[in-house]
Amino acid sequence: MAIKSRICEIFGIKYPIFLAGMGGAANPALAAAVSNAGGLGVLGAAALRCLGGKIYSKLVFNNDEVFERAQTMGIKDKNTIYTTNDLASGDVMFSATGVTDGTMLKGVHYKNNIATTHSVVMRSKTNTVRHITANHDLNKKTIIK
């Protein structure tokens, strides 16, 4: 079942998946599956810009009808290789919060009535990387489990 949202409508995708899992979970099959489902590399490009890294990508169109739709949005050449700066230009900021434990961030952990989250906030202009550990008092906040 496709998800209906403005972001899906804008990008012409069925599911708002923007980046495959990273770290030990990622492999070529996972990257291909996310790409085939409509995944995009913009978030990865933003994070890489903040860390001084690089990414290159190319749009792949399933058929001429999809390419014609892309042309109405300004895509001119099927063979363009997009660079990190094409995908995330200017002064970029990136933030992420772990949901489950991973190689970059810990997931949400609960102890008594406290939920602890781990986040990262990065900025490309200064290459600043901030790690944030936050404790959320569940007596004062409602969360969905």
Condensed to tens digits (0 to 9), the pLDDT of residues 47-106 reads 888 888 888 888 888 788 888 888 887 888 989 888 888 888 888 898 888 888 877 889
Coil, helix or strand at residue 119: strand
The rounded distance, in Å, linking the Cα atoms of 58 and 47 is 18
Domain locations along the chain:
6-87, 93-137
Higher pLDDT, 142 or 77: 77
Model confidence, pTM: 0.64
Query: E-assigned strands of the chain?
Result: 93-97, 109-111, 114-123, 128-137
Average pLDDT, the chain: 79
The rounded distance, in Å, linking the Cα atoms of 12 and 118 is 32
Residue with tokens 């012409």: 12
